[in-house]
């Protein structure tokens, strides 16, 4: 069973930079077995007060693979690009 990652986009800081990130994100994820299940999309809030700009759903084979993607020194420029483009929180969840 895959482990999922959910990215909560709180705000867009630089649209052009985030657009460049989106061009390389899938390849960076694939390096650790990850993939984009649902690309960044505006959500419909069903309950609560939070109103993120977008949510993205990712999958990984394990939580260790998700952490390896985030910690990979070869991908630090990719993560920096994402962080320059958006204010985002990413969670990994699910059973391995």
Domains of the chain with CATH codes: 3-44+52-93 (3.30.70.100)
pLDDT tens string, the chain, 96 residues long: the values are 899 999 999 999 999 999 999 999 999 999 999 999 999 999 999 999 888 999 999 999 999 999 999 999 999 999 999 999 999 999 999 976
Q: Which residue, chain included where needed, has tokens 């505006």? A: 42
For 33, phi and psi rounded to 5 degrees?
A: 80, 10
Structural contact between residues 85 and 17, judged by C-beta atoms closer than 8 angstroms: yes
Question: What pLDDT was estimated at residue 1?
Answer: 83
* Side-chain half-sphere CA neighbours of 14 within 13 A: 11
Detail the DSSP E strand segments found in 16-77. 35-41, 54-60
Q: Give the pLDDT confidence score for residue 40 in this predicted structure.
A: 94
Strands 54-60 and 3-12: antiparallel
């Amino acid at each position: 069973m895959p482990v999922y990652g959910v990215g909560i986009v709180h705000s867009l800081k630089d649209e052009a930079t985030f657009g460049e990130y989106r061009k390389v994100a899938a390849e960076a994820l694939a390096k650790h077995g990850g993939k984009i299940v649902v690309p960044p999309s505006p959500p419909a809030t069903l309950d609560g007060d939070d109103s993120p700009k977008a949510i993205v759903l990712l999958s990984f084979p394990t939580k260790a693979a998700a952490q390896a993607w985030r910690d990979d020194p070869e991908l630090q420029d990719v993560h920096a690009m994402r962080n320059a483009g958006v204010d985002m929180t990413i969670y990994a969840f699910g059973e391995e």
